[in-house]
Amino acid sequence: MSIPPGKILACVNGVIGPAEHATVSVLDRGHVFGDGIYEVVRVDKGRLHGMDRHWRRLDRSLRALQMPAVDLNLLRSQVEATLAASGHTDATIYLQVTRGTAPRAHAFPADTPANTLILVQHFPDDKAHLREKGAGVITHPDLRWARCDIKSINLLGSVLAAEAAKRAGCVEAVLIREDGVVTECAHSSLFAVVDGVLRTHPLDPRILPGITREIVLELAADLGIPCRQKALRSDELRGVDELFLTSTTSRVLPLVELDGKPVGNGKPGPVTCSLRDAFTAWEKADALKTPSSNALNAGEL
């Protein structure tokens, strides 16, 4: 099976078929409670980027929410089979696990297996030009819950912020808590450069431990860029020298406008550009590794 670029291929509990014909029960707990977790992995020329890190985070989310046991090796083989069946080489893989199908009641159902969903979709990378020239963002209240470190499918706070950004003609929304702490973006991690020091929110329950964030911090250390994992406050945000976001789909994206005003001199800054380029080099090096490096190593979880 090979599907046209516009079509999405689904794998529901191991059964592969076109997404428009795939079904889950209306009693799926993901559907009625948002009781599930997910991952998004980017496939570049047939290679799944950072897969070992994504498996680790998926496993962490499953444990944090005491989800039913999931055979991650089976899931991995289903991811590979669905990707192969799609025929796509540049794609995103959406991977979701919910607490299964059961009559609606808030507390966990007994003896209920998880439901798994894999979606493979062509990914054209339409942000390449923005990685060169930079993009605009708005600020938005952080309306999310107290466990943003879990990659839960409950995304209403992010959905509302992303919609506000879209209406403002921006790529993202920078989220600010009621106490003035800048956390991250609706669907990306956030970095700033202040007086030559890279700043980002520390890992805690207020932010998602982004895979791209983790890699960028490793690259910054390699490049000798001083880094402080300390949250910015909203009043500091206006005066930063550089700003950029990171995510699996956007990679390292310079931010040159904040609420309609230029960030720094309104152009991608030098620290941002060196990290963006180092990330591109990291991806190239990662792609040269043998495909088996994507394999799920139980010992790594």
Residue among 35 and 184 whose Cβ is closer to ligand PLP:
184
Helices (H), 89-210: 128-133, 156-167
Part of the chain binding ligand PLP (CB under 6 A), chosen from 89-97, 100-108, 160-168, 241-249:
241-249
Q: How far is the CB of 172 from ligand PLP (least distance, A)?
A: 10
Tell me the H-state helices in 48-168.
Answer: 51-64, 72-86, 128-133, 156-167
Q: Which amino acid is at 299?
A: G
d(CA 5, CA 8): 8
Which of residues 35 and 172 has its CB atom nearest to ligand PLP in the complex?
172
| Of the residues 96, 101, 121, 246, which one makes contact with ligand PLP according to CB under 6 A | 246
Residues in contact with ligand PLP, counted by CB under 6 A, come to a total of 14
**How far is it, in rounded angstroms, from Cα 249 to Cα 246?**
8
Site string for ligand PLP, 125-164 (x = CB under 6 A): ---------------------------------x------
* DSSP assignment letter at 103: S
DSSP-derived secondary structure letter, 291: G
Residues 1-40, interacting with ligand PLP (CB under 6 A): 40
- Residue 188 Cβ, how far from ligand PLP at the closest point, in Å? 5
Of the candidates 174, 152, 154, the one whose C-alpha atom is nearest the C-alpha of residue 162 is 174
Structure tokens belonging to residue 277: 């380029």
| Non-local CB neighbours of 78 within 8 Å, separated by 6+ positions | 11, 14, 16, 116, 118
User: Pick from 287, 277, 279: which is nearest to 132 by CA?
Assistant: 277
Residue (139 or 158) nearer to ligand PLP, CB: 158
The Cα–Cα gap between 197 and 240 comes to 10
Q: How many CA atoms lie within 13 A of 292 on its CB side?
A: 0
Touching ligand PLP, residues 252-281 (CB under 6 A): none
Closer to ligand PLP at the Cβ: 116 or 189? Answer: 189
Sign for the CA dihedral angle at 45, 20, 22, 247 comes to positive
Least CB distance to ligand PLP at residue 216 (A) = 9
Least CB distance to ligand PLP at residue 158 (A): 6
Of 139, 212, 272, 294, which lies in the binding site for ligand PLP, with binding defined by CB under 6 A?
A: 212
In this structure, are strands 189-194 and 242-247 parallel, antiparallel, or unpaired?
antiparallel
Q: What is the x/- site pattern for ligand PLP, positions 164-203, by CB under 6 A?
A: --------------------x--xxx--------------
For the annotated catalytic residues, the residue numbers are: 151
Q: Which is nearer to ligand PLP, 12 or 37 (CB)?
A: 37
**The length of the chain, given as a count of residues:** 301
Asked if 61 touches ligand PLP (CB under 6 A), the answer is no
Of 83 and 162, the one with the shorter C-beta distance to ligand PLP is 162
For ligand PLP, the binding residues (CB under 6 A) are 40, 158, 184, 187-189, 208, 210-213, 246-248
